[in-house]
Amino acid sequence: MSEVTKNDIATGVGAKLYYWDATLSEYVPITEVDSLSWDGTSRNVVEVGGLNPTDLHVRKLQGLLNAGALTAAIRYKFDQYLTLKTQEETRGNFYYLVELPDGAGLEWEGFISELPINFSDGEVMQGDVSFQIDGKMDFISSIEGAGPV
């Protein structure tokens, strides 16, 4: 087994989060993001059984894939909060993009399902925003020219 070195481990430093602004026809950065967490894909499992299984075991069928959600810990700037609040209150999907430190990206269509604000003495307004992924999250080799088709 080969040894894992520091250069083999990817860090998130330099990752950026964007939303698509249809009026500008470009991705606009969501600033002050402290961390990003994607819970990854999962597959629904359908259990099938008959009344008289010969081996007394349940059969399982592969169901649909679920791309899950992405959570971003954000320190809010007020105008940015209002933009995200408008997106949350608007029915329908928006386009989002995470730029990875190496220039590749994760692009998806979805909506904001949670937009909390935490207030505390001496702290900035912040919250963990949840973006639901509707459909498939696409891995792209470069964000150059990325955007809805």
Query: How many distinct structural domains can be found in the chain?
Result: 1
CATH of the domain at 23: 2.40.30
| pLDDT at 21 (0 to 100) | 95
Residue 146 lies in a domain: no
Confidence of residue 41 (pLDDT cuts 50, 70, 90): very high
Which of residues 5 and 62 earns the better pLDDT score? 62
- Answer whether residue 122 shows pLDDT above 80: no
| Domain span including residue 72 | 16-43+58-140
| pLDDT at 7 (0 to 100) | 62
| pLDDT at 3 (0 to 100) | 66
Residue 148 lies in a domain: no
Residue 80 lies in a domain: yes
Q: What rounded mean pLDDT belongs to the chain?
A: 90
- Answer whether residue 26 shows pLDDT above 70: yes
- Determine how many CB atoms are found less than 10 A away from the CB of residue 84: 20
Backbone angles phi, psi at 15, to 5 degrees: -70, 145
